[in-house]
Chain A
Amino acid sequence: MWHIAKRELYDNLNSLRFALTMVLLLGLMLTNALVHLQEHPAQIKKYRASVAVALNALRSRTDLYDIAQRGPGLLYKKPSALGFCAEGGDTLLPDAVGRNDTVWEDGELKSFWTMKYPSTTPDLKNIRSDITKVDWAFIIGSVLSLIALLFTFDSISGERERGTLRLILANSIPRHTVLTGKFLGALISITIPFTLAVLMNLLVISMSSAIRLDAEAWGRLSIIFFLVLVYMCLFLALGLLVSARVRQSAVSLVILLLTWIVFVVFMPSVLPSIVSGFSPAPMTADEFQERIVQLDRELLSKYDNRLWADETLKTKQVRSEYVTRDAEIQERLNEKHLTQQIDQVQRARTVSRVSPVTIFQHLLELFAGTGFERHLQFLENAQRYAREYREFVIDTDNTDPESLHLIGVREGMSQKPVSPEAVPIFEDTFSLSRDFNAAAVDLLLLMLFVIVLLSGAYLAFVHVEV
């Protein structure tokens, strides 16, 4: 078996396609690294600056009512250090949640801080044509998969055409050993240029002083490297399968290319568009606004005549209730709107898993800490923090015996200054274990694809007539 693998390897190493692959991959990976070096420091700088502004605003408040009413401002998403692996459409996703301004004021009453989920419209100032960023997901998902097919399309049909297959099988080698040998040979001969390109890419990136990759990032990178190997196996197996089934290598390549272009180029965009186009749409922005106004009006009509009746404790209680109820309703509506939007996207993402390149893209985004799944994680973090923040307000209020414990009314809350250090601070975190959980489905699906295709290739080769 090793003999066959070695022979394949030598064959490939001397071929034109190996040289072309090498040049192509090196060029792509180098560009990727240079672009990342250019963009990432700016991203980090922007993130730090906006976090500092938000933090200063938060620290400058010492009045508990103020803290409760104005909230922590905007919460920012931490950019991932591995953005070069998968860009994941991060520019199209919002980079912050929360609320920055007052929504309504009614005399002494002001609306409470609630989580808002601003939607970024894509950059309308951009008049360049739409492109796929050259990140690892593109280089591997599209280019390397094509190369994997080019390495295997003639591995069996070509030998049959030349008649050498008959020769090999005349020896006393089991067929599966031949297949495994061919598979390993192709895998190694693609892994060599790919590994070289990746090493160069990482060398360029880690040489820069502006970017530091920590231990976790390297761990994630090794997971990504493993994923790439699995993904390459998938396309090699597909190549072997078709190559074993088809008599002419040219026909085999035609079939492979057409399959490739459908699954890799078109399916990832067409399927989600179809699914999202025909699935129930969430509230539009206008409907959402109308609903907010309507709920506000309903609530106000319930409380209106009691809010400003007099200045007794009971009225103040009503005011407190009104403000808290308003915040609750707002928050619930915001979350409902967000969930509807997310559901629509999730449906589309689920269906697009038919294409292996989408699965791979999802996995890469997940482990690179970018894209949609990461955005969900960020939202979760932000929501957890919002709860923590509210609990902090209530707890602080409860510790003050002089307070009337009327949240939302200035005179009803603790008047003691709050020390700035005590206020919880939002920190966006990455969690590898959560990523693994989220990746489970995609990982299993990818494995399933590989196993099915490999066994298909085996069966096809066993039944091949020479």
Chain B
Amino acid sequence: MLMTLIRRELLDNLMTFRFAAAVFITLLLVVANTVVLLKDYEQRLTAYNTATQESYQKLREERVYSRYAMDLIVHRPPNPLSIFNLGLDKQVGNEIAVYHAFVPTIWDAVKHGADNPFLNLFTSIDIVLVFQGVLSLLALIFAYDALAGERERGTLRLVLTHPIQRGHILLAKYISAMLCLLVPLLISLLLSIILLTTSTTISLHADDFLRIGGIVLTSLLYVSLFYLIGLCISAMTRRTSTALMLCMFVWGVLVLVYPNLILTAVDIVPQPNTQISAYHQIKQMWEELNREKKLFLRNDTVLGPLSRNGEDWGFRLKGGEYSFLRDEDKPSTLLYFYQSGFYAGKIKAESEPHVPLVQNYYGFHNREIVSTVNRTWLVRKPALEAIYVQPANLGQMLLKFSPVGLYDAATEAWAGTDLEGIQDFFSTVQRYRRAVVDYFYDKKIFESRQWFAADEGTADWDALPQFAFHRSDTDINAKRALPDMLLLLTMNVILFTVIMLIFIKSEV
């Protein structure tokens, strides 16, 4: 009996104009967007490859270790799944320097390969956004007359005269509608995957297909939720036109108004003022370090007179070619550091006695810097969390009152373009920085002659630990997406129960 009902409903739905129109529009939008996004991804990938290559070469042109301050730069590759949900992939920086004088974070990153900046005026649309708008609308369009329409036409009375459980009628309607909604979802996804595979630059792994599967599953939950919302409205109203209008208002509020409204309104919430005090604390630590450095130089009978006002610019070594400074002072991201160095091509014999002293100084000073950075990080990390992450999380949380927010968050997590996915990259960079510092300690590079002079052997960059970043495993993506998916599921179940109750109680 259930099968008969499902078949009837399926035919009813499939043969309609709305179904054809919706499938057509979904396909059109998804294909058009995939083409655009694919091109964009290819551009970003090319930019990434060029930038990585350039950094690699630039580093190898340096002959002393201390110059790595300028040229040890790592890049974040674009995420191929950003085609499904762009998330933060394009929004945050993708180029970061690795240096022992600061801990690299997402907020210190800059952007390589920026093309026409005016193009940022146009918002980009990803596949999830198309589904979010079109499929939810479609689900409501399928649902609004499911019960109210039958009641209006009187067919509901007819069906109920048969010995069928009311629950079965609902179930049949639900299953057939979901099958119908699967059609545009799957066809458009398949088309976009075909487009993706034709591209030579993009290569999807088996893992990626699992992630896409996760996105499909989330989309199903999302669409089903909207179908149930429509069914609920349909069960509560007597007339189809009222049901349709209510559905559209609900859609407008949930999809269009609420997400934008709440994120605009979140800005009114005053920000915590931890920034200034944390910044001063960090600056103080660095000034303390600077004082210690000057004290060290002043107490040293040879280096003291050689340094100019307590600075280490070349120590008047004969053969020093140039000195350089690498510093940052950015109160907004609590970044403060300062390190100077110099480069000597060939140190002359008369300065040779001073060289061990200079080596000793750099060994001392670099160790001090690393320990200062560790101390500032204890202040900086929680402050950055308070300034940037907490407001963002507040917005995300408020957004989750709408299914749109849940859907977006879950698909972002699957694609790995959410904040945590991006942070994965920066934690890798932080680990890499530690590895580099450890390597410098192990090989005693901080106090080596090659730190500043290129006359007795130059820096060996190939022996340096190599940077490699891999996206997190699928199970981690799944773990991040799971809470939101479970919430979607819970909402589905609750709504289904509510509809059941309303429908069973209702009079025909």
Contacts and interface: CB of A to CB of B under 8 A. Distances in A.
A218 to B, nearest CB: 25
Interface in B30-45: 32-33, 35-36, 39-40
B117 A119 contact: yes
Nearest to B399: A129
A328 interface: no
Interface string A266-277: 100110111011
B35 A274 contact: yes
Contact of B18 (A120, A133, A251): A251
A348 B261 contact: no
A35 B268 contact: yes
B87 interface: yes
A272 B249 CA distance: 29
Nearest to B124: A273
Dominant secondary structure of chain A at its interface with chain B: helix
Contacts of A272: 122
Contacts of A138: 260
Given A127-B389, A266-B29, A31 B125 contact: no
A24 B257 contact: yes
A223 B137 CA distance: 34
Interface stretch (B108-116, B219-227, B293-301, B337-345): B108-116
A345 B118 contact: yes
A127 B125 contact: no
Interface stretch (B189-197, B238-246, B308-316): B238-246
Contacts of A39: 267
A313 interface: no
Given A92-B121, A142-B256, A146-B252, A277 B21 contact: no
A31 B261 contact: yes
B265 A35 contact: yes
B117 A127 contact: no
A92 B113 CA distance: 17
A352 B107 CA distance: 34
Most buried by B among A94, A133, A143, A261: A261
Contacts, number: 190
Contacts of B39: 277-278
Contact of A269 (B124, B242, B244, B392): B124
B497 interface: no
A144 to B, nearest CB: 10
Contact of A131 (B22, B113, B246, B263): B263
Nearest to B253: A24
A253 B240 CA distance: 12
B259 interface: yes
Given A134-B260, A266-B130, A270-B29, A258 B120 contact: no
B32 A250 contact: no
B261 A28 contact: yes
Contact of B121 (A34, A35, A89, A253): A89
B91 A269 contact: no
Interface residues of A, number: 70
A80 interface: no
A465 interface: no
Interface in B381-416: 388-389, 391-392, 395-396, 399, 408
A258 B111 contact: no
A194 B264 CA distance: 20
A372 B121 contact: yes
B106 interface: yes
Interface stretch (A178-186, A203-211, A280-288): A280-288
A329 interface: no
A181 B53 CA distance: 69
Contacts of B454: none
B92 interface: yes
Contact of B116 (A38, A89, A249, A345): A345
A341 B116 contact: yes
Interface string B162-201: 0000000000000000000000000000000000000000
Given A92-B120, A345-B121, A131 B264 contact: yes
B419 interface: yes
A20 B249 CA distance: 8
Interface string A37-52: 0110000000000000
Given A269-B125, A344-B116, 8 more contacts: A124-B107, A124-B111, A130-B91, A250-B145, A254-B18, A272-B122, A274-B32, A277-B40
Interface of B: 17-18, 21-22, 25, 29, 32-33, 35-36, 39-40, 87-88, 91-93, 106-107, 109-111, 113-125, 130, 133-134, 137, 141, 144-145, 240-242, 244-246, 248-249, 252-253, 256-257, 259-261, 263-265, 267-268, 332-333, 388-389, 391-392, 395-396, 399, 408, 419, 422
6 contacts: A16-B246, A35-B265, A119-B118, A124-B91, A251-B18, A272-B122
